[in-house]
Amino acid sequence: MKSIKVCIGSACHIKGSYEVIEIFKELIKYHNLENDIELLGSFCLGECRQSVSVMRWDNKILSVSKDTAKYLFEKEFIPYI
């Protein structure tokens, strides 16, 4: 199982980490990936400058907003499962 960590620290919380988590939950279910992807909350990932920080299982950190969550999920996660 591969893990996706979404920062829930102060800066990312303000930038919408809850919304990103909810979108990712829906996409995991929609694509039937419940047995392939584990969605985790994490404190600061060290990339607080842009949108919500999300770390892929290979330690790649992405900056994700509620507006880019679906696109990035399908581009940066699904092809690598």
Q: One digit per residue, pLDDT tens: the chain, 81 residues?
A: 999 999 999 999 999 999 999 999 999 999 999 999 999 999 999 887 789 999 999 999 999 999 999 999 999 999 998
The predicted model scores a pTM of 0.93
Candidates 2.102.10.10, 3.30.70.270, 3.40.30.10, 1.10.3720.10; correct CATH number of 2-80?
A: 3.40.30.10
Position 56 scores a pLDDT of 97
Beta bridge pairs of residue 4: 39
Strand arrangement, sheet containing 52-55: 37-42, 2-7, 52-55, 61-64
Assigned token pair, 14: 């303000």
Provide CB contacts within 8 A for 34, sequence distance 6+: 28
Task: Determine the Cα–Cα distance for residues 69 and 71; give it in Å rounded to an integer.
Answer: 6
**Phi, psi for residue 50 in degrees, rounded to 5:** -110, -120
